[in-house]
Amino acid sequence: MSVDPVLSRIDSDLPEALERLLALLRIPSISTDPAYDADCEKAADWLVDDLRSLGVEADKRPTPGHPMVVGHVDGDGPHLLFYGHYDVQPVDPVELWDHDPFDAQIADTPGGQVIRARGSSDDKGQLMTFIEACRAWKAVHGALPCRITFLFEGEEESGSPSLVPFLKDNASELGADVALICDTDLFDSRVPSIITQLRGLLGEEITITGPDRDLHSGSYGGIARNPIRVLTKILGGLHDDAGRVQVPGFYEGVPDLPPDMAAQWQALGFDADRFLGAVGLSQPAGEDGYTPLEMIWSRPTAEINGIVGGYTGDGFKTVLPSRASAKVSFRLVGTQDPLAIRDSFRAWVREQLPPDCTVAFADHGASPASRMETGHPAFAAARAALSDEWPDPAVFAGGGGSIPIAGYFKDILGLDSMLVGWAKADDQIHSPNEKYDVASFHKGVRSWARILDALTRL
C-alpha cells in the first residue's frame, strides 16, 4: 500500500478535516470543573462515533472520573497504541480572550491561518491529526495499515487520577509494540522532533516554625529566632557557585549525554540569547559546563517556586513571623530516584535547623524521568519518515517538562513511547487565545500518514 495517494487524499480533504476538528473544539470539555461533566461525556461520545465511522471497534469506558475512549482495529504488521486527551484547561480569565473560547474559528494572522479555541493545540488538534491520517488511509486503501489501539483520556488536565488504575486493570488489552503520544511541540517551524527523554518531577513544601506567635520586632528583634532568616539561609545553600545542587546524593543516576545525541542538539543551532531575551533575560544561569539545551533537556534542577512568611499586605508591619514556608521543585533525569531525593532533601534541611526551630514537610508529587530506547527500530523509521515531510531533518530531542503518561506506559504496559507533536511555542496553551496553526495541523496529518507507512514496513 503506497502512502502517496494517502497524502493526496489528506491534501484534498483538509477543509472537511478542519470542520471536524472545529466541531470537537466546540464541546467545552473542561475536566477540572464539575459543571462541565456532561460536556466531557459528550466529547467522549463524539470520539467514539468518529472512530466507529472508520471501522474501529470503539466504546466509552467508565472510570471514577471522566470516561476513557478505547478503540481497536485489527491488521498485519506492528501493533501501535495511540494516546491523546480530549479534556481541556479552564478558560479563565475569559475577559482576555478575543472571542468565545469554544466558538472555534479559523483566523487569518500575519503568520498564516490559525485555529482559535481552547484545546486547539492541547490536545484536540493534535489528537485529530492521527485520526485524520487514519481516515485518509482507510478512504484510499479500504483498511488501516496495521493493528492500532486508540486510548483517549478525559482527565489529563486534572492530574489523570483514573489513568493508572485503568492501565493496570486493562494492561492485557492495551498491550502493543510501541506507544505513540501526540502532545508535544515542534523544535521550530522547520524541524520536527521526537521526544526521547522527559524530566521527572518532585515537589516539596517546607514550613519552618520558630516562636509560638508573631512577635514585635522592636521587642524581640535581635534576640528571637526569625524563621524567614532560617529558611532563606537554607534555600540560599541549595546551589553552589557553579550551579550544582548541594543535596547529598542528588546526582546519583544522572547519565552523561550520548555523543550522537549531543551532536544532534548542537546542530540545531539553538539561540539561547533569543530564547532568554524573549523573557527579559540575557545569561544562562544553570550548571557551569553545559550547553543551554543540555540545561533544559538533560540536566536535573532544583528551583524555589514560592516563599511566604510574615506580613505581605499593603503598608508595613514590624513583625517577626512565627513561621515561614517555601515550595521547592526538582526536575529529574536518568534514573534519579525521586523518593530517595525527597528523603535526602528533608534530612539536609533538618541538619541545618538551629535551636528553637522545627520543620514540617508536605509532598506535592514524585515521578521519575522517562527515557526512551531509541535503538528500537521504530524510532529510526519514524525519524526518517518525518524528515521526508519537513524542510529540515527530524531530531531526537529532550523535553524539559514532564509527561507522566510516557512513564506509566513504560512501568505498567512495558512500552516505549514515541512522543511526536506539531504544537508551536507561541500556541498559548493553558492561556487566553490558544491557537493551533492550520499548517501544523495539515503537516501533522501528513506526518502521521508517513510514520504509519514507515512503521508498517518494519
**Sheet strands side by side (includes 435-437):** 105-109, 112-116, 435-437
pLDDT score for 399:
86
Q: Beta strand 193-198 with 417-420: parallel, antiparallel or unpaired?
A: antiparallel
- Secondary structure (3-state) at 337: coil
Measured between alpha carbons, how far is 111 from 253 in angstroms, rounded to an integer?
Answer: 43
pTM as predicted: 0.86
pLDDT score for 133:
98
pLDDT score for 402:
73
pLDDT score for 354:
97
Q: In a structure prediction context, what are the per-residue pLDDT tens digits for the chain, which is 458 residues long?
A: 799 999 999 999 999 999 999 999 999 999 999 999 999 999 999 999 999 999 999 999 999 999 999 999 999 999 999 999 999 999 999 999 999 999 999 999 999 999 999 999 999 999 999 999 999 999 999 999 999 999 999 999 998 999 999 999 999 999 999 999 999 999 999 999 999 989 999 999 999 999 999 999 999 999 999 999 999 999 999 999 999 999 999 999 999 999 999 999 999 999 999 999 988 999 999 999 999 999 999 999 999 999 999 999 999 999 999 999 999 999 999 999 999 999 999 999 999 999 999 999 999 988 889 888 888 899 999 999 999 999 999 999 998 877 889 989 999 999 999 999 999 989 999 999 999 999 999 999 999 999 999 999 98
Assess whether the region 4-198+369-456 and the region 200-254+300-367 belong to the same CATH fold: no
Q: Is the CATH number of domain 200-254+300-367 3.40.630.40?
A: no
Rg (Cα) of the chain, in Å, rounded?
A: 24
The 8-class DSSP code of residue 199 comes to -
Residue 204 neighbours by CB distance under 10 Å: 22
Is the distance from CB of 423 to CB of 122 less than 8 angstroms? yes
Measured between alpha carbons, how far is 184 from 82 in angstroms, rounded to an integer?
Answer: 14
Q: Domain extents for the chain?
A: 4-198+369-456, 200-254+300-367
- Secondary structure (3-state) at 33: coil
pLDDT score for 400:
81
pLDDT score for 155:
97
* CA-angle at 372, arms to 453 and 260, nearest 5°: 90
* CA-angle at 443, arms to 437 and 445, nearest 5°: 105
CA-based nearest residue to 407, from 378, 374, 367: 367
Q: Which distant-in-sequence residues (6+ apart) come within 8 Å of 426 by Cβ?
A: none
pLDDT score for 374:
86
Report how far apart, in Å, the C-alpha atoms of 227 and of each of 183, 235, 370 are. 42, 12, 37
CA-based nearest residue to 369, from 396, 342, 400: 400
Pick among 3.40.50.720, 3.40.50.10490, 3.40.630.10, 3.40.630.30: CATH of 4-198+369-456: 3.40.630.10
Hunting for cell 461533566 — which residue is that?
A: 37
pLDDT score for 213:
96
